[in-house]
Amino acid sequence: MEIVLTAERCLMSSYNGALFLGFMSCAPRNLIPAPIFFKFILPPVKMDKEGAVLAPSGTRKIESVLIENGFNVTVVPPEKIERFAKKAKAIGITTNDPLGLGPASSTFSGKHGIVKEESYNVFCFKKLVERLNKVSDAKIVVGGAGAWQLADEKIMNELGIDVVVVGEGEKVAPEIFGKILRGEDVHGIFYGEVVERIPVNRRATVGGIVEIARGCGRGCKFCQPTLQRLRSRPLTDIIEEVKVNARVNKFATLHAEDVLRYKANGLNVNREEVIKLFSEASKICKIGISHFSLATIAKSESVVSEISSILGIPNKGQPWLAGQTGIETGSPKLIREHMAGKVLPFKAEEWSDVVEMSFGICSDNHWIPCATLIMGLPKETEEDVLRTIELIERLRSYKSLIVPLFFVPMGAISGEKPFSSEDLKPYHWELMISCWKHDVKWIRAIAKDYLTKMPLMSRFLLQKFIDWVIKEGEKRIEKMLAEKLCIRR
């Protein structure tokens, strides 16, 4: 083969069918021993005669576009990479968080995180590149959602990376790999163009991910996808990928920054197309979703209800539908400053009411929001954080998870200073404790449902781990309150 594609070990896993377990790779590496972590929680993907049976969706996109352009491509799990790498002329790596600078990793792990220990993401990426440089002379090309962290010639040289591709890779990848195979000395940082046609994946993806749309257009300053124009894929392409995943995963996860805005007219939900999408996809296999917007939920209660009805939720195999979403803040000031488009068609002053209304709609229709907050946004004050705490308290009765994350300068405010554990004030700790109390209330019940189809040993270990985290967390909070902080309990 001429081109080998792979991904860091934390991305190249079946997750035993529980996609959200991938976020555990952002946690400090010393929490779970590697043998247990990689065998029972993030088990490796299998191979057949054609290569990896599963791969990240981004890897599959590059695989498809390279094959369309006549290249000989093999996708290989990192555990099997050595014997393939020796024969390759170019190796492409998909990475999500190679240096641990993403919001989740930088909050909970690493030099400036709450626990001063690198994440499995960082460990696995560096080990992979190190191994490849030892066994192969092939050019190493790195892309994916975390590639921006490597867009520095000094970092590239230290790690032994030849090319970094930031942004969408479908147009630029054939050009880069073509030059490498022709023997040209390709090196440096390349920025991918926004594509109109998204290629169809030929094989199944990790988590059954099927991209239905790309971009967002709401314009949140801290988020790259929201700055990109929304582009929806043809239903025929989506259904083809759902069928591919149904054969291997037995399920598919419809992915977009906001699944309810598939083929939307601006911010207006296209009910007919959304219902058609879920109706057609659900005829093939079990369907999940990746992300949704709270403002869209608040304006589209009837569509949410129809989707639950189409999917037959709740049922024994799928008691609820979970998706990621962003609360980010309870402060109207910070909404106006950094994410005015996030709340549309509502006003910034209405955001807390919109969030609670959306959580209520989700609860009524058996949807579970897995929500994020951002601590340390530029111009944030104590009053802003207290407004967020008030909002979290209002959400306590709704089954959900809420995770506070440190601000990472990306998008339109990439020049700002990142937030770190050294910047935490007492009111930030109070916010984290409020989120902790919320999550402790709901996590056991959510985990019991979510892990039910995992292998017995994996389910047992994860449930024990959750119990340990809750117990250990309570002890650390008690200690923190006693020794460091003077905040209300």
* 386-408 pLDDT, tens digit each: 999 999 999 999 999 999 999 99
Residue whose structure tokens are 């599963």: 54
CB 362 within 8 A of CB 324: no
Q: Over the stretch 226-259, which tens digit does the pLDDT of each residue have? A: 567 899 999 999 999 999 999 999 999 999 999 9
Task: Report the pLDDT averaged over residues 262-285.
Answer: 96
Domains and CATH numbers, the chain: 3-191 (3.40.50.280), 206-450 (3.80.30.20)
Indicate if the alpha-carbon torsion angle 99, 102, 105, 106 is positive or negative.
positive
pTM above 0.85, yes or no: yes
- Tokens for 205? 């993806």
Are 411 and 227 spatial neighbours (Cβ–Cβ below 8 Å)?
A: yes
User: Where does the pLDDT of residue 473 fall: very low under 50, low under 70, confident under 90, or very high at 90 and above?
Assistant: low
Q: Contact, 91 vs 6, CB < 8 A? A: yes
Model confidence band, residue 489 (pLDDT cutoffs 50, 70, 90):
very low
For the segment 409-425, what is each residue's pLDDT rounded down to a tens digit? 987 788 889 999 999 99
The average pLDDT across 320-343 equals 96
Q: How far apart are CA 310 and CA 104, in angstroms?
A: 33
Rounded Cα distance between 2 and 179, Å, is 12
b/e code 161-172 from CB counts within 10 Å (16+ = b)? bbbbbbbbbbeb
Half-sphere exposure of 436 (CA within 13 A, CB side): 17
255, β-bridge pairs = 211
Q: How sure is the predictor about 477, in pLDDT bands with cuts at 50, 70 and 90?
A: low
